[in-house]
């Protein structure tokens, strides 16, 4: 009876000493890699641009005013009309000017006849040289009077100084006008330009002939090419800026003077530059960093020395080498030493 009880006790002790055959509980599992998108660095051509907002201008644009006072007899243009160079636009009452011209022409005819007769008489020794000189002077005065009367008649008419488009008509027949009165404006829309200013720090990189691109917010999708036509030799003392004028190549008919445009002037091309997307750059005070994905999948924060910037890219002068993977998406969840993975192919 005692032997079976002793065997049962030993078996129980053996079971207690063995414990759980599965062993101790497993430790906490590592977090999954952070999904990120990367850009693989490769040498590229970097176009350095100067950007600014400019205004469309028509270099050939003038206000039309009469050169003399008088009553308007005819208005020969309408609002927005295209006119040729020399086309009559406004005529004033010109009866008095025509009479003055006729009088001067008649006096000039008499003076010429008198001069011819005096010359004939002098050949026969019937008059003195002094009388011939007097007749010649009177002929000159008469011709000058004709020129003055002709100019007076010309001033009674306003003509187009160049081919262009008329603006709004600001005069009507019967109105009394003088040289201070604007009767309209004419603009040549076939030769448009852009006026803009840039900081004086850009002056050393600007020169006539540089190419530029234009975009217009008022006309979505409209782009145009331009060329730097003028760089002011003087810096404005009040704003420390320099004035520029660009010439638009083949102006689009939708462009109008006074429009604001975004201008990008190509000032330099750099070959073999390393560029990182702007969304990959982290600014912290004076420190500029990017996150780099190593070959082992571990991320690290890397300080860089940035160079020129564009809308989409930042040039890297120091801190990175070609072939490294810069993280461009998923930065918010990154910590030094964390694991990351690229679920999609690397962006070029």
- What predicted TM-score, i.e. pTM, was given to this entire model? 0.67
Strands laid side by side in the 61-64 sheet:
61-64, 184-187, 164-166, 82-83
* Contacts (Cβ under 8 Å, ≥6 apart) of 258: 55, 56
- pLDDT of 16 above 80: no
Q: What is the mean pLDDT of residues 266-291?
A: 90
Tell me the average pLDDT of the chain: 88
Q: What is the mean pLDDT of residues 251-264?
A: 92
Looking at domain 51-59+187-271, its CATH superfamily turns out to be Efflux pump adaptor protein, beta barrel domain (2.40.30.170)
Where residue 17 falls among pLDDT bands split at 50, 70, 90?
A: very low
Give residue 335's pLDDT: 87
How far apart, in whole angstroms, are the C-alpha atoms of residue 28 and residue 343? 25
More confident residue, 332 or 83: 83
Contact predicate 266/48, CB 8 Å: yes
SS3 category, 301: strand
- pLDDT of 9 above 60: no
Q: Does domain 94-155 have CATH number 1.10.287.470?
A: yes
- CATH T-level fold of 64-88+157-185: OB fold (Dihydrolipoamide Acetyltransferase, E2P) (2.40.50)
The string of DSSP letters for 69-106 reads: -EEEEEE---TT-EE-TT-EEEEE--HHHHHHHHHHHH
Contact predicate 273/46, CB 8 Å: yes
Residue 203: name the closest of 248, 234, 238 by CA.
Answer: 234
Taking the domains of the chain in order of start, what are their residue ranges?
A: 34-44+273-341, 51-59+187-271, 64-88+157-185, 94-155
Contact predicate 57/257, CB 8 Å: yes
Give residue 347's pLDDT: 57
Q: Name the percent of the chain lying above pLDDT 90.
A: 66
- pLDDT of 20 above 60: no
- pLDDT of 67 above 90: yes
pLDDT digits (tens, 9 = 90+) for 204-239: 899 999 999 999 988 988 999 999 999 999 999 999
Give residue 19's pLDDT: 47
Pick the CATH number of 34-44+273-341 from 1.10.240.10, 2.40.420.20, 1.10.10.60, 3.40.50.300: 2.40.420.20
More confident residue, 23 or 165: 165
Where residue 145 falls among pLDDT bands split at 50, 70, 90?
A: very high
Give residue 27's pLDDT: 53
Q: What are phi and psi of 279, to 5 degrees?
A: -70, -10
How far apart, in whole angstroms, are the C-alpha atoms of residue 85 and residue 57? 20
- pLDDT of 112 above 50: yes
Give residue 74's pLDDT: 95
- pLDDT of 177 above 50: yes
Q: What is the mean pLDDT of residues 311-336?
A: 89
């Amino acid at each position: 009876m005692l032997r079976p009880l002793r065997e049962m006790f030993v078996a129980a002790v053996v079971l207690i000493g063995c414990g759980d055959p599965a062993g101790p509980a497993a430790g906490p599992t590592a977090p999954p890699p952070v999904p990120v998108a990367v850009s693989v660095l490769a040498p590229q051509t970097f176009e350095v641009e100067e950007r600014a907002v400019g205004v469309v201008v028509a270099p050939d644009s003038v206000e039309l005013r009469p050169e003399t006072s008088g009553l308007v007899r005819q208005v020969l243009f309408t609002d927005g009309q295209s006119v040729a160079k020399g086309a009559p636009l406004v005529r004033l009452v010109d009866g008095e000017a025509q009479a003055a011209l006729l009088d001067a022409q008649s006096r000039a005819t008499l003076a010429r006849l008198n001069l011819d007769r005096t010359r004939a008489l002098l050949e026969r020794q019937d008059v003195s040289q002094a009388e011939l000189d007097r007749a010649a002077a009177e002929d000159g005065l008469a011709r000058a009077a004709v020129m003055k009367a002709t100019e007076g008649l010309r001033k009674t008419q306003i003509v187009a100084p160049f081919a262009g488009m008329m603006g709004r008509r600001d005069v009507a027949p019967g109105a009394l006008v003088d040289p201070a009165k604007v009767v309209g404006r004419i603009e040549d829309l076939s030769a448009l330009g852009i006026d803009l200013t840039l900081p004086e720090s850009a002056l050393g990189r600007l020169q006539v002939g540089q190419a530029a691109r234009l975009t217009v917010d008022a006309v979505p999708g409209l782009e145009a090419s331009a060329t730097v036509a003028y760089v002011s030799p003087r810096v404005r003392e009040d704003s420390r800026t320099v004035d520029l004028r660009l010439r638009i190549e083949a102006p689009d008919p939708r462009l109008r003077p006074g429009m604001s445009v975004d201008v990008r002037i190509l000032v330099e091309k750099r070959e073999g530059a390393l560029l990182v997307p702007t969304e990959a750059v982290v600014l912290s005070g004076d420190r500029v960093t990017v996150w780099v994905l190593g070959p082992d999948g571990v991320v690290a924060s890397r300080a860089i020395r940035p160079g020129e910037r564009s809308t989409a890219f930042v040039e890297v002068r120091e801190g990175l080498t070609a072939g490294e993977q810069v993280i461009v998406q998923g930065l918010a969840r990154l910590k030094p030493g964390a694991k990351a993975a690229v679920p999609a192919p690397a962006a070029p």
